Amino acid sequence: MAGLIVERRSAVCLLTIDRDHARNALDAATSRLMDQAISDAEADPKVGAVIVTGTGNRAFCSGMDLKEAEQIGAGHGLIPGRGFGGITERRRSKPLIAAINGTAVAGGFEIMMACDMVFAAEHALMGLSEVKRGLFAFAGGIQRLATQVPRATALAMIMTGELLPARRLYELGVVTEVVPGDALLNRALEVTQAMLVNSWQAINNGRELYELSTGMNTGQALAVGNAWGKATLASADSREGIAAYTAKRDAQFGQG
């Protein structure tokens, strides 16, 4: 598919934005392709997680294609109900991991912030440059900065449009790990595939409980956790995990 490469690496769906000539900016067509690819992965019981990255080493994604926007108007890469690239507003049931191979700016930074884990190349720069184009990052970038980054740093990013290096975002807890650029994809795949050895049901329940808990007080979050926990304690995966530990063998979870 022009603009997007879709691959399977075992139980991982790998999406590579393939518009290096445009610093991997998303035109409307590529945004729709990403949306469909993630929907397909969500529906496929053999897919446990999705990794999104970009072609080359210059840019992960530089946001919307401004040349296209000049011709047809801004905002055509926004998918109703699911946001930029079909990612920034989407409700997902499976982990989404970013492998940031270069600059992640504007909508590209918003995609990154919507991911569950972020692996970044040492040379990567990240931030919200919309203010330099008379815009602001309303599709999730500002909202997620507000919950993940200290106020003074977040507002400086929003109001100046200046980019921060990957190492600084790691220090702030936004990036999971910073690695050499030539090791980036292998490291993201290694961690993702190691994650998927665990119970997929437990992974997704834990991820969903975390997301719900960010909008609840502790008492509410504990009540939800306890309600879900009763089902977890009685699940086949729980029985298998405990039995495997007792027998000193690897667990064989019923994935998918």
7-41 in b/e form (b: 16+ CB < 10 A) is eeeebbbbbbbbbeebbbbbbbbbbbbbbebbeeb
Catalytic residue among 110, 162, 171, 177: 110
Per-residue CA distances from 240 to 38, 70, 231, 253 (Å): 30, 56, 14, 7
Catalytic residue flag (residue 110): yes
CA 131 from chain center: how many Å?
A: 23
Q: How far is 9 from 13, CA to CA, in rounded Å?
A: 6
Active-site annotation holds for 122: no
**The pair of three-digit structure tokens given for residue 43, joined into one six-digit string:** 């529906």
Given the residues 130, 208, 211, 240, select the one marked as catalytic. Answer: 130
Helix/strand/coil for 97: strand
CA distance 64 to 107: 6
Q: Report whether 18 contacts 228 (CB < 8 A).
A: no
Rounded to whole angstroms, the Cα distance separating 162 from 29 reads 28
- Active site residue ranges: 110, 130
